[in-house]
Amino acid sequence: MRVAIMQPYFLPYIGYFQLIAAADLFIVYDNIKYTKKGWINRNRMLLNDGDALFSVPLKNASDQLDVCEREISPQFDAEKLLNQFRGAYRRAPYLRETMALLETIVRHPAVNLFDFLLHSLVQTCAHLGITTPLRRSSDIGIDHALKGQDKVLALCQATGADHYINPIGGLQLYREADFLAKGIALEFLQSRLHPYPQGGGEFVPWLSIVDVMMFTSPASLQAAIRQQFDMTRPTA
């Protein structure tokens, strides 16, 4: 039973979906503090051969609120964002298929930020052929006052995990001995991004999954999600 746990992101990069696909259960943190200037409600797309931010604006609120307590701004213009995608990728070979997905995501009526993001992840996974179930962290019966590694361990134990998978960027966050003491193997996923034709100048890496979907055939993208990464164990 392989479990992965992450906070929600808006149309994240391919490594996020590789992590979902590599797990038997993917837990999405909803009761975790919203962080400014991260990737929770924004990401990067290709525009004029460079990267450009796109985002979903939020209603003004306290910085202490969890993701599940934040709301999307009433000024959010879904059609404006969709037109930004259409303009940026107007010559992309898979524009039609990708825009059909983006219309379903961006026009979703949820006002709650987490509900909007979870719907986005579920829809994108279905589009990519990823069948891993996604669960809200708050639906799992643990002490949710726990933090960091202790919370991860509690979630793993509550869901029967014998493997915990984390992105390679979190290598220093966890102690392998603590996981092994609970009968859980600790693994880290490192994505290997192979450059793909973006229809212009020099390749711009690690953009939103939107960019990969616009320029990559469904079969090639599904193969990349399942094959273009390395799984490693912590080193002593």
Phi, psi dihedral angles at 107 (to 5 degrees): -85, 0
pLDDT at 64: 87
pLDDT at 236: 54
Instruction: Indicate the pairing of strand 163-167 with strand 185-191.
Output: parallel
Phi, psi dihedral angles at 50 (to 5 degrees): -135, 180
pLDDT at 36: 85
Per-residue pLDDT of the chain (236 residues; tens, 9 = 90+): 999 999 999 999 999 999 999 999 999 999 999 988 889 999 999 999 899 999 999 999 988 899 999 999 999 999 999 999 999 999 999 999 999 999 999 999 999 999 999 999 999 999 999 999 999 999 999 999 999 999 999 999 999 999 999 999 888 889 999 999 999 999 999 999 999 999 878 999 999 999 999 999 999 999 999 999 999 988 65
CB 58 within 8 A of CB 70: yes
- Written as one letter, the residue type at 17 is F
pLDDT at 147: 94
User: Does the predicted TM-score (pTM) go above 0.85?
Assistant: yes
